[in-house]
């Protein structure tokens, strides 16, 4: 996730973070463990969530706050990705693979930690921006979760 303000959030349209975002509720400090998470896209089509010792855990995962990543959302299950530039789509294949927050799935927000409730794949709208960042969005029903990804140095 980009370290810039408004790098993630939710709003009524793709790219909007007006309903909730990383600048509210002291999220930049409270969720500091979230900002070092990495989404690794391999040249061979592999995808990995690299979360380190801590990431942001939500109530449906047992507690809310920084904590040890919970399977299957911990990067332990092999995953792949497919990017379709013509359709601006990015599909992750593999239970537990996600961008942004594991609760965000197509058309809903996941509130059940059971891996069986998790889809096998997720498709995001992915837009490469002029500044080199990638805007990744997914509809959850009433709006869109939006995440800005920046290349790690």
pLDDT by residue (tens digit) across 19-54?
A: 999 887 777 788 889 989 999 999 999 999 999 899
Rounded-to-integer distance, Cα 55 and Cα 138, Å: 21
In a domain, 1, yes or no: no
In a domain, 39, yes or no: yes
The tally of domains found in the chain comes to 1
pLDDT for the residue 68: 95
In a domain, 2, yes or no: no
pLDDT, one tens digit per residue, over 66-114 is 999 999 999 999 999 999 999 999 999 999 999 999 999 998 888 877 7
Rounded-to-integer distance, Cα 115 and Cα 6, Å: 30
Overall pTM surpassing 0.85 (yes/no): yes
Rounded-to-integer distance, Cα 70 and Cα 101, Å: 12
In a domain, 109, yes or no: yes
Please give the residue range of the domain that contains residue 95. 8-149
């Amino acid at each position: 996730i980009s370290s810039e303000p408004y790098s993630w959030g939710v709003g009524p349209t793709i790219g909007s973070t007006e309903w909730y975002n990383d600048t509210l509720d002291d999220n930049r400090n409270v969720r500091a463990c979230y900002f070092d998470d990495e989404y690794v896209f391999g040249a061979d089509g592999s995808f990995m969530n690299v979360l380190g010792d801590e990431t942001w855990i939500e109530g449906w995962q047992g507690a809310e706050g920084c904590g040890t990543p919970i399977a299957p959302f911990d990067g332990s299950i092999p995953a792949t990705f497919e990017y379709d530039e013509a359709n601006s789509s990015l599909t992750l294949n593999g239970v537990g693979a996600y961008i942004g927050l594991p609760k965000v799935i197509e058309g809903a927000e996941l509130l059940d930690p059971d891996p069986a409730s998790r889809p096998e794949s997720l498709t995001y709208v992915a837009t490469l921006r002029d500044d080199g960042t990638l805007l990744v969005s997914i509809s959850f029903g009433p709006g869109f979760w939006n995440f800005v990804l920046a290349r790690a140095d």
